[in-house]
Amino acid sequence: MKGQVWGYFCSMVLVLLMITGCLATDREKDSIQNDEETVQEQTTTDFITVGFSQVGAESDWRTANSESMKEAFSEENGYELIFDDAQQKQENQIRAIRNFIEQEVDYIVLAPVTETGWDSVLQEAKEAEIPVIIVDRMVNVSDESLYTAWVGSDFLKEGYVAADWLADYLDRKGRTDETIYMVTIQGTMGSSAQIGRTNGITERMKDHPNWIMMERIAGDYTEAKAREVMEYFLEQYSEIDVVICENDNEAFGAIDAIKAAGKTSGPNGDIIVISFDAVSAAFDAMIAGDLNLSVECNPLHGPRVAEIIQKLESNEVVEKTQYVMEDYFDTTMNLIDIKNNRLY
């Protein structure tokens, strides 16, 4: 009997201990959860929110550019990035910017597909007091205060570099006075990269009246479209000496078409191929002897835009226009070593 009472007493104590234990655990749990919520709240409010409207994913250059932006605007770096791929359509970019305004982001970053058509939507961003940073291509707006800063390439200079390289190359080959028949696969019409590169070459052609530009057609910076354009050029013109491709991916498409037509390209081939960007695969094409020249266009804008935002955060004055330093690469150089030291 004594044993039974003792057993009953022990069970009661155990039940009480379990109840108080559970209560303590629940209280602890609540407190941990509250702590977590507070930390989360603090972290969320500390992030700088950036809405980035990207042109699309049309080229290797664009992929490298998107990666650079995503890396720079990571959560570890204190940002919340809202990335929007516009699939090369301006109406998608305008829609994305309006969404960013609605979401009250801290900054809008725009890589514009073409130069014109931005006044209204940038005015809306200005009225919402959201600073806009333009990256890569430029915008052509009536009021420069519609954006805070621009960072990108000097596309006109890239065109000059390509034309000057060609003049020098033909000179070295003893072809200075020869009639040179050319065709161009242009980029997206109305984009700064297309306008600058086309104009740079056109201006320099005035110094070379023996250079004949037979036709220019847009290849939209894509390999597939450029291949079609080159196939057409090869059917139309038997005497092509030079094809200017307004980016590397267009050059890859053009080279494919040249090979399919039973012709060759590059320093020892029938057709001189010139392109822009200097992405990793362009180095491979030069090393393989298919491509003559790639004029660099640097896509690593993420850290540059982040620097502008950091300066604005500390109320520092930022430069309105920032050009990136760029080079060019041809088959006379030590391309394997250069390629191995590049980031894209």
Residues that bind ligand AHR in the complex, under the rule CB under 6 A: 58-59, 61-62, 136-137, 193, 221, 247, 276-277, 297
What stretches of the chain show up as alpha helix (H) in DSSP? 2-46, 60-72, 90-102, 119-127, 155-172, 192-205, 223-236, 248-260, 280-287, 302-313, 335-340
Q: Are strands 132-135 and 211-218 parallel, antiparallel or unpaired?
A: unpaired
Closer to ligand AHR at the Cβ: 197 or 204? 197
Distance CA 344, CA 341 (A): 9
Residue 176 CB, nearest approach to ligand AHR (Å) = 29
Closer to ligand AHR at the Cβ: 122 or 297? 297
Residue 49 CB, nearest approach to ligand AHR (Å) = 25
Question: Residue written as tokens 């800063």?
Answer: 149
Residue 326 CB, nearest approach to ligand AHR (Å) = 11
Distance CA 256, CA 158 (A): 24
Closer to ligand AHR at the Cβ: 136 or 290? 136
Question: In 3D, which of 88, 27, 9 has the Cα closest to residue 56?
Answer: 88
Closer to ligand AHR at the Cβ: 130 or 295? 295
HEC profile of 32-95 = HHHHHHHHHHHHHHHCEEEEEEECCCCCHHHHHHHHHHHHHCCCCCCEEEEEEECCCCHHHHHH
Closer to ligand AHR at the Cβ: 241 or 250? 250
Residue 179 CB, nearest approach to ligand AHR (Å) = 29
* Residue type (1 letter), 45: T
As given in the structure block, the two tokens for residue 97 are: 């910017």
DSSP 8-state code for residue 190: T
Question: In 3D, which of 258, 262, 301 has the Cα closest to residue 54?
Answer: 301
Residue 341 CB, nearest approach to ligand AHR (Å) = 21
Closer to ligand AHR at the Cβ: 130 or 132? 132
Residue 166 CB, nearest approach to ligand AHR (Å) = 18
Residue 297 CB, nearest approach to ligand AHR (Å) = 5
Residue 226 CB, nearest approach to ligand AHR (Å) = 11
Question: In 3D, which of 152, 264, 248, 244 has the Cα closest to residue 202?
Answer: 244
Closer to ligand AHR at the Cβ: 49 or 53? 53
As given in the structure block, the two tokens for residue 73 are: 């605007």
Residue 289 and residue 333 in contact, taking contact as beta carbons nearer than 8 Å: no
Closer to ligand AHR at the Cβ: 108 or 193? 193
